[in-house]
Amino acid sequence: MPAKKITRAAFTLGQGVERAYRVLPYERKLTDPVYRPLRIFALDPSASRLHGNVARVDVPYEPLLPGPQGQVFEVDAREFDAEGDVVAAHRALDLEDARYMLAGGIEPTQSDPRFHAQMVYAVCATLYQRFKEALGRSVAWGFAADDSEDTPLRLRLKPLGVPEENAYYDPDTGELIFGFYPADAKATVGRNLPRGSVFTCLGHDIVAHECTHALLDGLRAHFTTTTHIDVAAFHEGFADIVALLQRFSHKDVVREALRASRGRLDVQRLTGIGQQFGETSGDFGPIRNAIDYTVDEKGKRTYQVTYDKSREAHDRGRILCAAVYEAFVTIYDRKRGKYMRMATAGSGYTDPRNELPSDLLEVLTDLARSTAGQFLNMCIRAIDYCPPVDIRFGDYLRAVITADREMVPDDPHGYREAWIDAFQQRKVYPDDVPNLGEDALVWRPPLTKLPTVDALSFAELAFDGDPGRVPRRNELRRQATEIGKLVTHPDFMSEFGLVDPEGRKPAGVEEVGIPSVQSVRVARRVGPDSTVAFDLVAEVTQRVVRRHKGKRFELYGGATVLIGPWGNVTYVIRKRAMHEYRDAQALDFITSLEGRTYWNSKGAFVTPRRAAFKLVHKRRRGA
């Protein structure tokens, strides 16, 4: 009897599949230095050097052309006007100059455009390395490009990019654009000159925040498709918490803050974001703070922004940032307790009028930095466990819990419990879970028994040396094609949240697109006990066009697929295409006042606007 013929739906390979091959960080040679030391502002120019503000960072070594220009980043130090025209050209910074190599680059200063170039390159390069280490692979960029070229795809950094109170990532051009502007005439707080020049590229938080937007866009193709207020807010909140936790990599900043606070982390020097930006643009303080509540004399909390009422992306993103920071502080406080008791003969009490003993201060500094690093890894690794579209805060909590449980099953210090409690305090709840128990929050294995894909087992993958290095283009296409065959099998499409494009369409649905494999990447994670876990992570999406109020709207569904080393599907994290309730929510948001920022309406067709960061990030005096 002849074998049954399987009729699969067609599928396409997205641009992101092969684009990854154009982002190849420099591979260090044995004779190369390990690092290139460079000096930066660890906070921003208005902060005191006594607070550790001038820091040396160890940037992974790579040969640089003037700019500087490396394999992943290139700096365009020219000065631009509001229309994007060049108004001044500055001498390009050559970090290969022996003087700068010996001195750790240029001395931090607000006045020299060459230091502006050094600042953005150093902060972005170290942050990229942090993502690379957490994920165990290079991160591809998500911006559009001519994929027929074989030249490296670089993120362009413009420290003097626009004369306004703004800084943003432009995914259409592949640029981080930093604003410069005159300070408010009433900017008399901090070390700021009223009407003096302010450069957003010199704020560590701002540079790290904007670079995180670009990195997140490279990790998830449709996280800029804002179908719910949580989607834009997630981009903002995630970028804020990455910027905050990255601050803890600067030891002097952490030590001096803990010295002043007697070992506590809930102080503005550590929790404020964009201090100078806020001081000079009308807020007269940081633009945001990771502490989102006040406490009265009875210990009752009053939250400044509530999840159910906040509609602006930064306000709602602040809730996510605050929840993660609170979980971080909870774990730090649990761990520091034993050191405080040891240092105080068991009482744990220290007189707030006295400084901490120097040895205790060093121990707490190392504890805060290592705990921040662990939380930053948790935050980054969870992206691989998020659905590919329509991300909600509850989805992210589940992704964190699942990813961490995979690596640390026992969790002796209660990290995951701290995350759950912090989200629950802010009434952020995942959908479709019976309770907030850890076992209820982890993503479930596939409901359908899926076949093992031998062609995707690690024995069959053609690595380009290091498994974390992007393989050749033919191998990327092969892997993505095998994913496409699996997800479009007629028996399994529903498991992956997909529908047959030729099938019956319900009322209101005008078009169902062909499923697209957006990316396929290796994930290599190292646990605290040195356990190494390997997975293949793929994104599959499907476009659906719905008619609503006389217009046609472009929506998406799909799944994140995790495949183990033997070709076995371990998780399918989906948002179903053509889901009536979720699509109705999306249409309500898109047609709302907030939604218009994120969507283009051209005639009868409404499509997502990827480059909404400029509008969302623009500051308004007194806003």
Q: What SS3 string covers 391-414? A: CCHHHHHHHHHHHHHHHCCCCCCC
Rounded Cα–Cα distance for residues 566 and 178 (Å): 45
Res 185: pLDDT? 83
Same domain, 397 and 544: no
Same domain, 411 and 497: no
Phi and psi, residue 88, nearest 5°: -155, 140
Rounded Cα–Cα distance for residues 122 and 42 (Å): 11
Range in 261-275, 297-311, 403-417, 537-551 with the lowest mean pLDDT: 297-311
Same domain, 135 and 263: yes
Range in 71-80, 205-214, 449-458, 606-615 with the lowest mean pLDDT: 606-615
Rounded Cα–Cα distance for residues 515 and 405 (Å): 31
Same domain, 410 and 381: yes
Same domain, 395 and 475: no
Q: Is the peptide bond before 608 cis (omega within 30 degrees of 0)?
A: no
In a domain, 280, yes or no: yes
Please say if the pLDDT value at position 42 is more than 70.
Answer: yes
Residue type present at position 399:
A
**Residue 84, burial from CB neighbour count under 10 angstroms (0-12, 13-18, 19+):** exposed
Compute the 3-state secondary structure of the chain and give helix, strand, coil in percent, each to the nearest 5.
35, 20, 45
Token pair, residue 33, equals: 């230095």
Can you tell me the mean pLDDT for 307-331? 92
Three-state SS across 5-69? CCCCCCCEECHHHHHHHHCCCCCCCCCCCCEEEEEEECCCCCCCHHHCCEEEEEEECCCCECECE
Domain-terminating residue out of 421, 440, 459: 440
Q: How many percent of the chain have pLDDT more than 70?
A: 95
In a domain, 618, yes or no: no
Res 403: pLDDT? 95
Q: How far apart are the first and last CA of the chain?
A: 73
Domain-terminating residue out of 405, 440, 475: 440
Same domain, 86 and 103: yes
Res 8: pLDDT? 63
Same domain, 356 and 470: no
DSSP string spanning 96-130? TSHHHHHHTSSPP-SS-HHHHHHHHHHHHHHHHHH
| Among candidate residues 395, 400, 391, the one with its CA nearest the CA of residue 556 | 391
Residue type present at position 426:
R
Contacts of 581 (CB under 8 A, 6+ apart): none
- Which pLDDT band, with edges at 50, 70 and 90, does 558 fall under? very high
Between 507 and 540, where is the model more confident? 540
Q: What is the CA radius of gyration of the chain?
A: 24
Same domain, 484 and 553: yes
Contacts of 146 (CB under 8 A, 6+ apart): none
Same domain, 183 and 328: yes
In Å, the largest CA–CA distance within the chain is: 88
In a domain, 507, yes or no: yes
In a domain, 384, yes or no: yes
Tell me the CB-side half-sphere exposure of residue 3, using CA atoms within 13 A. 3
- Which pLDDT band, with edges at 50, 70 and 90, does 1 fall under? very low
Domain-terminating residue out of 440, 474, 505: 440
Res 88: pLDDT? 84
In a domain, 596, yes or no: no
In a domain, 590, yes or no: no
In a domain, 155, yes or no: yes
Residue range(s) defining the domain that contains residue 452: 445-581
Token pair, residue 283, equals: 């807020």
| Among candidate residues 475, 261, 428, the one with its CA nearest the CA of residue 350 | 261
**Distance (Å) of CA 355 to CA 266, 361, 518:** 17, 9, 54
In a domain, 174, yes or no: yes
**Distance (Å) of CA 190 to CA 114, 198, 261:** 25, 13, 19
Reported as type and span, the H/E element at residue 243 is: helix 229-247
- Which pLDDT band, with edges at 50, 70 and 90, does 618 fall under? low
- Which pLDDT band, with edges at 50, 70 and 90, does 148 fall under? low
Domains identified in the chain, total number? 2
419, 327 contact by CB (below 8 A):
yes
Res 622: pLDDT? 35
Q: What is the DSSP letter of 446?
A: P
Phi and psi, residue 550, nearest 5°: 80, 0
20, 539 contact by CB (below 8 A):
no
Same domain, 107 and 203: yes
- Which pLDDT band, with edges at 50, 70 and 90, does 221 fall under? confident
Contacts of 573 (CB under 8 A, 6+ apart): 385, 386, 387, 395, 399, 443, 559, 560, 562
Same domain, 471 and 360: no
Please say if the pLDDT value at position 353 is more than 80.
Answer: no
9, 490 contact by CB (below 8 A):
yes
Token pair, residue 99, equals: 């003087």
Same domain, 405 and 470: no
Strongest mean pLDDT among 81-90, 183-192, 398-407, 596-605 = 398-407
Contacts of 80 (CB under 8 A, 6+ apart): 86, 87, 158, 160, 161, 162, 163
Can you tell me the mean pLDDT for 523-550? 88
